[in-house]
Structure 1
Amino acid sequence: MSTAPHRPAVLMVLGSCASLQIGAALAARLFPATGSAGATLLRLGLAAAVLLVAARPAVRAWRRDQWRAVLLLGVTLAGMNSFFYAAIARIPLGIAVTIEFLGPLTLAAILSRRGRDFLWVILAATGVLALGWTGSDTAALDPLGVGYVLVAAVFWALYILASAKTGAAVAGQGGLAVAMAVGALLLVPSGLAGASAALTSPRLLLIAVGTALLASVIPYTLEFAALRRLPQQTFGVLLSLEPAVAAAAGWLLLSQSMAPQTAAAVTVVVLASIGSTVSAGRRPVTIS
């Protein structure tokens, strides 16, 4: 069978990865004025507004179990994004995404129920540990930033589970839209003061809108469309390129250089992610 019908979907996934990391790099430009919490609130709040208008979820008809799934997804979105943005305020974008990948990789190994799949996690962890070796860019590895991104990795794993439950419970993108609104509301206490700074500056507001579109609306839309056209295994392999895309975005947009040792460590994590994805494609995996 020709792979030509899959080419647009492949471009969608790659476009999603690029959009997400460009959005993260754009958000970093908000940090001096809004702080990471304010930038996260702006991203989720503006993205939620766009998706709510587009999806128009029929929330009055939702059952209690549907609301439970959506609320849980909102909590994971708030945690994943707030801790990740707090991390990239302290450490380079490419390194942050590389470390964060430990979350979904570990989850995949746990769900596989096969001990050998933890070898991929060990390989990825080896790559992450290698980020601490001497190099021109490792001085930026602030311990607090590393701690933040490890928490974000846990929330990323929880987000995967929560999004699967929400997708099964609520049709369309209505569940995601409401979950983003919930996540934004949870961040109001910590992010409102910073976010208000952008609301009084046309330049900052434009960056905030761009962040919401590039880091949330466009990637999620492209991924949903791609998943309908691509085998899940192919989708996962393409998504595994995200640390490399993040490193490129940090270099091009934030002038964050990467030493050869760090580039090698990122490559190890990417290969571990691809290996885990290919291994998963060879067996049934049950999410209970």
Structure 2
Amino acid sequence: METRYPPGAGHRLLPYAALITSIMTFCVGTSFAKRLFPLVGAEGTSAYRVGFSAIVLLVVVRPWRFGLARADAARIVRYGVALGSMNLCFYMALRTLPLGPTIAIEFLGPLAVSLFHARRAVHVAMAALAVAGLALLLPLRVGTQALDPVGILFALGAATGWGCYLVFGKRTGHLPAGQAVAFGMATAALLVVPIGIYHAGALLLTPAWLGLGLIAALLSSAIPFSLEIVALKHIPAHTHGVLLSLEPAVGALAGVLLLGETLTPAQWAAIAMVMAASIGMIATTDHVRTDMEGPET
């Protein structure tokens, strides 16, 4: 018997395909960017990513077309500083940590923001699950597979930056579409690029490495961000958040397959616990889009 599908079913799947592709492209792009570390360092790689992303957004969005009040400019500066700090800390963490655990630790930022607004006991249980996952990642036991403490601190810094990004981003929600993101990324570039220049100097201007930096920026920022914008217009907030919570696992797989990273069973369990906490928080909270979503870091 022939199976008949509803008209337009394929079109309804496109936003979900866009979001999954966004997550995969981000993780592949971040794995690619990590290969630039021996050339220009984590600071230089972050400068490439944020700098090129700012240029692309400014050219495409042209945010100066819209008026901007002084109070809104101050909000964008805070938003941009959080965005830049998040990106820089994330790449600094990747110097010594595998990709999957780094993303898992970073997810504690939006989880903390959601917990701040939580009013139910189940949310406390989800927070406890996330903390238990973090405890498995902390170097409480000495061994060859123990994660670097400095890397963990940078990952927690990225989590703090993501949380601040969400809080400050809410305060720019009334601005024209794309203006806050474009100006915010430009502000982030003003913070991150000088640090990259100080660390890598003229090496950043090496033509071949500039090309690699542009590719890394496109794969880890521009393309995932564009695909996620498409997805957000058609996917319910809860579903979007649940799918986004798969990112630590996808990142871990990308690290294993593309970078040759290895994870212990405890680290895989920690990633699963943070993902479960994220999904549980989303599934039991209303109006979570502004609390759990964020840019690809």
Q: TM-score if structure 2 supplies the norm length?
A: 0.88
How far does residue 115 in structure 1 lie from its aligned partner after superposition?
A: 4.3
Unaligned residue ranges in structure 1 (runs of 5+): none
Measured in 1, the distance between the counterparts of 2:151 and 2:203 equals 24
In the alignment, which of 155, 158, 161 is matched to residue 149 of structure 1?
A: 155
Q: Is the 8 A contact 1:16 1:223 kept in 2?
A: yes
Matched, 1:225 2:230: yes
Q: Aligned ranges for residues 145-184 of structure 1 at < 5 Å?
A: 145-166=151-172, 168-184=173-189
Q: Matched residue of 2:158: which SS?
A: helix
Q: What is the aligned partner in structure 2 of residue 30 from structure 1? A: 36
Measured in 2, the distance between the counterparts of 1:27 and 1:235 equals 26
Q: Is the 8 A contact 1:41 1:195 kept in 2?
A: no
Classify 1:136/1:247 alpha carbon distance in 2 versus 1 (closer, same or farther; 3 Å).
farther
The Cα offsets for residues 171-205 of structure 1, whole Å up to 9 and x where unpaired, read as 12122111111101112332114264132141x22
How far does residue 164 in structure 1 lie from its aligned partner after superposition?
A: 2.6
Q: TM-score if structure 1 supplies the norm length?
A: 0.90
2:164 maps to a residue whose letter is L
CA RMSD of aligned residues (A): 2.3
Q: What is the aligned partner in structure 2 of residue 244 from structure 1? A: 249
Q: What is the aligned partner in structure 1 of residue 103 from structure 2? A: 97
Measured in 2, the distance between the counterparts of 1:10 and 1:65 equals 37
Q: Is the 8 A contact 2:241 2:289 kept in 1?
A: no
How far does residue 6 in structure 1 lie from its aligned partner after superposition?
A: 3.7
Q: What is the aligned partner in structure 1 of residue 135 from structure 2? A: 129
Q: Which moved more, 1:55-64 or 1:89-98?
A: 55-64
What percentage of aligned pairs have identical amino acids? Answer: 37
The Cα offsets for residues 217-245 of structure 1, whole Å up to 9 and x where unpaired, read as 11211111111101100000000001001
The Cα offsets for residues 112-168 of structure 1, whole Å up to 9 and x where unpaired, read as 2334312111101111211247698733x11100011111101111111222322x2
Q: Aligned ranges for residues 11-160 of structure 1 at < 5 Å?
A: 11-58=17-64, 61-132=67-138, 138-139=145-146, 141-160=147-166
Unaligned residue ranges in structure 2 (runs of 5+): 1-5, 292-297
Measured in 2, the distance between the counterparts of 1:135 and 1:222 equals 41
The Cα offsets for residues 24-70 of structure 1, whole Å up to 9 and x where unpaired, read as 11121111121211111111110111111111112562112321222
Classify 1:26/1:48 alpha carbon distance in 2 versus 1 (closer, same or farther; 3 Å).
same
More helix by share: 1
